[in-house]
Amino acid sequence: MLGLYAAVVLIWGSTWIAIQYQLSVAPEVAVAYRFALATLIMMAWCGFRRLPMRFTLRDHFFMAALGVCLFSLNYVLIYVASVHLTSGLLAVVFSTIVIMNMINGVIFFRRRPETRTLIGAGIGLTGIAMVFANDLAAFDLTTGGSIGLLVSLAGSYIASLGNMASARNHARGVPVMQANAFGMLYGTVLLFGYIALAGIPVSFDPSASFMAALVYLALFGSVLGFGFYLTLLGKIGPDRAAYSSVMFPIVALLLSTWFEDFHWTGNIIWGVALTLVGNVVILTKRVPKPASQVLEQVAPAAVPVSTTCTPNPVAKS
């Protein structure tokens, strides 16, 4: 589980830099290229492995919902918001998906988040706010910032709805690989349909940097990244899995230090420390009580618990 989590954080934390090399074309077109290539890779892999591809109409509906919310519309909105917001502030806004997943988990699945998850998320979000304190202080609602804020929040919430669709698919036993393949297909078709209807000019940048970014974002950022993330979501739930979004900006900062000569300050160091603490709080498993203690709690106070009898298996749960 920790391996999956680390892979998601490292891959998606590095995509922020790669995305910068795709902005030579329209955001909608850049996202469409990315997921068109990812769809081809996913479908080819499913065919090579001879994975079962027959699903019910209802399953296809939720795979389409997954594609619309997680593989197309949310990315377009985030790209559009980047015109009005700095990358740091955009990262802060997107990290609110942790809270959105908790709320949507209650709405759609009646799943109450654990106290440990709430505490860890609060610590982590506070850390992210400290990291990007300067961006937050410079934010101005009287400019395009208000549009960027609303658009990025909308994109983050739509991504959260995609998480819910994935959680539903996992609960129904729909495999992650096939769900992602069909979801990316539906999302790509939606994007190209929108591009055609909106009259957005379709251009292509044949430069080496654009091509390298496209391949990296399609293979690592989309195929592997979403495969790892949605598998993780099925294992630990959408609220805890979404906390990885709080870690993305930290990885992006580390890479920015190497590639863009980013300079660390006291606020950033303390913010990173808080984010890591929140990470530990959320991912650390609660230590179960010994069976003898559980029996003592269940048994009447006046009746002593024998230490020689075999513990009741039910009490261990």
Q: What's the rounded mean pLDDT across residues 212-216?
A: 94
Q: Is the pLDDT of residue 16 over 80?
A: no
Please spell the DSSP secondary structure of 164-233, one letter per residue: HHHHHHHHTT--HHHHHHHHHHHHHHHHHHHHHHHT-------SHHHHHHHHHIIIIIIIIHHHHHHHHH
Q: Between residues 239 and 77, which one has the greater pLDDT?
A: 77
Which pLDDT belongs to residue 40?
96
Q: Average model confidence (pLDDT) for the chain?
A: 80
**Biggest distance spanned by C-alpha atoms of the chain:** 80
* 291 pLDDT tier (thresholds 50, 70, 90): very low
Task: Please check the confidence at residue 51 and state whether its pLDDT lies above 90.
Answer: yes
pLDDT at 229 over 70: yes
Looking at residue 81, its pLDDT comes to 82
Q: Could you tell me if 295 and 312 are in contact, meaning their C-beta atoms sit under 8 angstroms apart?
A: yes
Which pLDDT score is estimated for 87?
64
**Where is average pLDDT lowest: 126-135, 167-176, 190-199, 228-237?**
126-135
Task: Give SS3 for 117.
Answer: helix
Would you place residue 300 in the very low, low, confident or very high pLDDT band (cuts 50, 70, 90)? very low
Please name which of 290, 66, 56 lies closest in space to residue 181, comparing C-alpha atoms: 66
Angle at the Cα of 148 from the Cα atoms of 146 and 153, rounded to 5 degrees: 100
Q: How far is CA 171 from CA 103, 167, 290, in A?
A: 19, 6, 31
List the alpha helices (DSSP H) in 225-284.
225-236, 238-241, 244-259, 266-283
Q: What is the pTM of this model?
A: 0.74
Distances (CA, A) of 284 to 33, 62, 195, 238: 38, 32, 45, 16
**Span 62-104, pLDDT tens digits:** 999 999 999 999 999 988 887 777 666 676 677 778 788 888 8
Q: Token digits for 72? A: 């197309």
Please tell me the predicted confidence (pLDDT) of residue 187: 96
